[in-house]
Structure 1
Amino acid sequence: MLKEERQNFIMKQLNLHNKVLSSDLCAKLNVSEDTIRRDLNELASNSQIKKVYGGAMSKSFSHSTGVRETYAQEAKRQIAKKALTLISDGMVVLLGGGTTIIEMVRMIPKDLRCTFFVVSPVVAMELIEYSECEVVLLGGTLLHDSYIVTGSMVVNQLADINADLCFLGTNAISMENGITDAIWEVVQVKKAMIKSATKTAIVSIAEKLDSLEKMKVCSINEINYLITDANPGESALSSYSKVLTVL
């Protein structure tokens, strides 16, 4: 595989999953660690990615400047509009992190009155900026790789919440393997959030359908809604629509 092809593959994986591990890239591309290291160094030097320990992150997750690049932003805005139809006044809502959730909170009507419990400081700041709702930022250890709080402190706080609805982004989703992620600490927080909510909605661009990461969050029948940018009637969603509500 040519260097350009490898680097295009790396960028595609980052756009879809926000983070890649060097070891996974070596296996998927069948190349050496030195080759992947050179590719990541070159992409980082061109400001296309952010290098982190063991791999790289999408620039969408770099909040060191006021400018953020968002992959498939229009698709995520379509998802956000659909997601907001599930929220009504008086609800208690749990929010995960990620760029789709950010697009969602930017569209919250000014007259909506809800309480949002949030595990991402970035999402909390956007909520304060764009809405008049009550915002409760849960405490814990801030994870560099995803900008959400993790650890036993946040899991214990979630156990005391009985939310009406939980919105989560996902790194991967499939009928067979359910919701999966690449970061163990994030998996534990997502599990606790699902347990603390009456209903859970997964927000994801359709490109992530039928993908898999190494760590399981939950099976597909543990969620209630799947919200994508695709038309619910499309064939790619037919199997999902048999077990949950697809928007």
Structure 2
Amino acid sequence: MNEMVKLSKKDRQDRILTELRVSTTIRISDLAAELGVSYETIRRDLEEMGQSGLINRTYGGAVVRPFGFEPAWNERFNAMTEERERIAATAASLIEQREVLMIDAGSTTLHFARRLAAEAKNLTIVTNCFAVAMAFSTNPTITVLACPGEYDPHDGSVMGPDTINYLSRFNANRAVIGASGITVEGPNDVHSSAAAVKRAMLQRSQEHIVLLDHSKFDLPNLDVVCPLSDIHRLVTDQAPPPELGAALGKARVEILF
């Protein structure tokens, strides 16, 4: 029991995830008793894990998050805004005038687009995201090429064969993409159609930049976009956990935070 009381918050939340993967659903009172902490401590853990997308909250407990689920983009945009603004500022500092960028749909990439629109000049943007395209409308020096395709209101973007074919026409200096999660296998997405757009952008770009906050670390989802070795830079808000950090180092990914 004493050993359980000394668990760090991260270790405690890892234990909660392990329990959920075994039991599928579990009550707060059971978790509190097993981990030797108060009901309120577990409740706060579950609230934080729910906001990060790791789990789905239920009345009095939680269930493990399905690999194919993610909140809508406008809900994600309003979460962890301070962290995502820092990521956006770091990523925007990498961009030079007259570059061509491919930017996909996502809450963090939208923060990046807004920051870039306020600071950059003379860029060409290719995007499948309506909100990203609109963000650049405030800057008359930036040209936006919007992809065609089937509109997905959940992501506020277009996807599908027409989107992929359109992207294949262009060359870009950099692809800037988000991800639903990242593991030692690589960045991933809950939707295969969104992952296909990310892959198409990476294939047409010289440099590959992934933007994501720490809540996405070690978070598996349905479709692995690419191996870690295909990423050149990961821009985040804090250092990855040891195993993931070692895998990124082995893949020679530059980590900026």
TM-score greater than 0.5 by the shorter chain:
yes
**Is the contact made by 1:110 and 1:132 (CA closer than 8 Å) also made in structure 2?**
no
Name the residue aligned to 2:64.
Answer: 28
**Is the contact made by 2:77 and 2:108 (CA closer than 8 Å) also made in structure 1?**
no
How far off is 1:61 after superposition?
1.9
2:143 matches 1:143: no
Whole-Å separation in 2 of the counterparts to 1:193 and 1:77: 23
How far off is 1:15 after superposition?
3.6
Give the SS at the match of 1:218. coil
Whole-Å separation in 2 of the counterparts to 1:136 and 1:77: 24
2:229 matches 1:215: no
Name the residue aligned to 2:108.
Answer: 100
Alignment map for 1:47-126 (pairs within 5 Å): 57-58=71-72, 61=74, 70-108=78-116, 109-110=118-119, 112-126=121-135
CA shift in 2, pair 1:166/1:219, >3 Å: same
Whole-Å separation in 1 of the counterparts to 2:176 and 2:188: 15
How far off is 1:103 after superposition?
1.4
2:71 aligned partner, one-letter code:
M
Whole-Å separation in 2 of the counterparts to 1:147 and 1:228: 23
How far off is 1:90 after superposition?
1.1
Give the SS at the match of 1:161. coil
Q: Percent identity at matched positions?
A: 21
Unaligned runs of 5+ in 2: 1-26, 30-39
Whole-Å separation in 1 of the counterparts to 2:63 and 2:239: 34
How far off is 1:77 after superposition?
0.7
1:199 aligned partner, one-letter code:
E
Deviations 1:89-147 (A, max 9, x none): 11110001112112112222455111000110111111113563111111111112211
Unaligned runs of 5+ in 1: 30-53, 63-67
CA shift in 2, pair 1:131/1:238, >3 Å: farther
Whole-Å separation in 1 of the counterparts to 2:128 and 2:246: 32
TM-score, reference length from structure 2: 0.71
How far off is 1:70 after superposition?
1.1
Whole-Å separation in 2 of the counterparts to 1:70 and 1:227: 19
**Is the contact made by 2:210 and 2:231 (CA closer than 8 Å) also made in structure 1?**
yes
Deviations 1:157-206 (A, max 9, x none): 1111110101001001012x211111121111111111111111000001
1:127 aligned partner, one-letter code:
F
1:12 aligned partner, one-letter code:
M
Name the residue aligned to 2:212.
Answer: 204
Whole-Å separation in 1 of the counterparts to 2:142 and 2:169: 20
**Is the contact made by 1:92 and 1:116 (CA closer than 8 Å) also made in structure 2?**
yes
Give the SS at the match of 2:71. strand
How far off is 1:222 after superposition?
0.8
Paired residues, number: 212
Of structures 1 and 2, the larger Rg is shown by 2
Moved more, 200-209 or 131-140: 131-140
Whole-Å separation in 1 of the counterparts to 2:52 and 2:45: 11
Give the SS at the match of 1:93. strand
Name the residue aligned to 2:49.
Answer: 12
How far off is 1:26 after superposition?
8.7
Moved more, 103-112 or 139-148: 103-112
Whole-Å separation in 2 of the counterparts to 1:240 and 1:167: 18
TM-score, reference length from structure 1: 0.74
